[in-house]
Structure 1
Amino acid sequence: MVQHNDTDHTVARQGPSKPAECPKPSSVSSTHFHPFRDQKECELITQTVDYLTHSGFYWGPLDVDEAHTRLARLPLGTFLIRDSMQANVFFTLSYRASEGPTSVRLLIKDGSFSLAGSKHTFPCLFGLLRYYIASPKKSLSMPYRGDVPQSLQELARRAVVQSFGKDSIQQLPVSKKLKEFLWLYPFSI
């Protein structure tokens, strides 16, 4: 998981997320990441890292060569998210393109995500991924979660979210504990 400082950033999952407590600039320890620009950016990154941690396709500080080696023999469009080694960028999208594995910086500006070189912006990283999965170019097709089979719980969670949608989780006739589990990763990707 990405660590921007020594503070634990826990975000509650009782429906829409509560703001994370973000560190003041003076308490941020030295990392390869730039300091947060403001509270809003801190909350966005904290929430995104939390979701990515539960996605199965977030590989953390994986370098570009290792990412490309992992993707080289996989089907076209297979992708993963990793930490960027560039000082002013948090994440990188690596995917298997027709010409071979490719990596693109995931930029964050004014509370929105975009791919480097793209004019399309999204308030959520997973909205960006859904857009490129559904695009006619089919640049992205499926996430790479490694060789370990996914647990039945993970598969069921994605199926429930796909069937009912993220916005319907609070209305589902299930226990509070199950709703909390769904909120840990409320996406079908």
Structure 2
Amino acid sequence: MILCVPGPRALLPGAPSTEAPRGMRAGNVAPTSCLQSSPPPWDPTKDLRVIASNFCYLENSGWYWGAVTAAQAHAALQEASEGAFLVRDSSHPLYMLTLSVRTARGPTSIRIQYSGAQFLLDSSSPARPSLSSFPNVPSLVQHYMGPEGKKKEGKVEEEAPSKPSQQTILETSVLLKLKRAVYKPQGLPSLQHLTRLVINRHSECSDQLPLPRPLLRYIQDYPFKV
């Protein structure tokens, strides 16, 4: 004969257990860890809009040379005066664009970093956290053409190995002075674009100028001075 003895009743659903784990006094039960909020999801459409508008600006600028090599860019700047510059596609797989500029030591190139929908000059120096970032490359170039950029953050590094030593950083540091854009021979800007630049250089509120609406839209399509 098998004797059936009823066991203890199960706890009601949802009822918290007051029993402490084995070896721990009651009342000292460790609280459960708080759930950490997950970071916001990455929105690729924002990057697409920023990159597309940036290249639209560059195509209109006249000083974007596209897919030319560093040697070709440096040859174009070799006989130019100090401060002459152009922007080209970067040959590095992790970068989109590179700024090539004629310095006192000759032509050199500085990679342009893109991160968080912002553009900034690539740098390995301790001053990197203080470098300004911009929503597009024309704004970056315009900043370094002004007195504020030259005074506060003009020291950057030329293109260097991925992990440069401190000595390499010192040797490749250059004082960035952007003065004059070098236009691509096959893409010289139109007279309308040059007029637009003059208007932007002499007006802080071009949208309030007494001009026909189509002309105002044309000026606002490229709101830069370079």
Give the alignment's TM-score, normalised by structure 2: 0.61
Query: Match of 2:110?
Result: 104
Change beyond 3 A, Cα 1:144–1:115: same
How far has the Cα of 1:132 moved from its partner? 1.4
Distance in structure 1 (CA, Å) of the matches to 2:122 and 2:114:
10
The match for 1:139 is 177
**5 Å matches for 1:15-54?**
38-54=44-60
Shift of 1:99: 1.1
Aligned with 1:92 (options 87, 98, 102): 98
CA RMSD of aligned residues (A): 2.1
Which amino acid in 2 is paired with 1:172? L
Does residue 177 of structure 1 match 2:183? no
Aligned to 1:158: 197
**Contact 2:119–2:137 (CA under 8 A) maintained in structure 1:** yes
Instruction: Structure 2: give runs of 5+ residues left out of the alignment.
Output: 1-41, 152-174
Q: CA deviation at 1:146?
A: 4.1
- Which one of 64, 67, 86 corresponds to residue 61 of structure 1? 67
Amino acid at match of 1:91: L
Percent of aligned pairs sharing the same letter: 30
Greater relative contact order (Cα < 8 A, sep 6+): 1
> Are the equivalent residues in 2 in contact too, given 1:90–1:106 (CA < 8 A)?
yes
Segments of 4+ in structure 1 off by > 6 A? none
Give, as a single letter, the amino acid of the residue that structure 1 aligns with 2:141. L
1:188 aligned partner = 225
Partner of 1:124: 136
Work out the CA distance in 2 between the residues paired with 1:40 and 1:147: 33
User: Does the 8 Å CA contact 1:106/1:114 hold for their aligned counterparts?
Assistant: yes
Q: Deviations over 1:58-101 (max 9, x none)?
A: 11111111001000110001000111122221111000011111
Structure 2 counterpart of 1:62, which letter?
Answer: V
Q: Which moved more, 1:146-155 or 1:51-60?
A: 146-155
Who is 1:3 aligned against? none
**What is the count of residue pairs matched by the alignment?**
152
Bigger-Rg structure (1/2): 2
Structure 1 residue runs without a partner (length 5+): 1-35
Structure 1 residues 70-89: aligned runs within 5 Å: 70-89=76-95
Cα distance in 1 for partners of 2:111, 2:176 equals 18
| Residue aligning to 2:165 | none
Which residue in the other structure is 1:8 paired with?
none
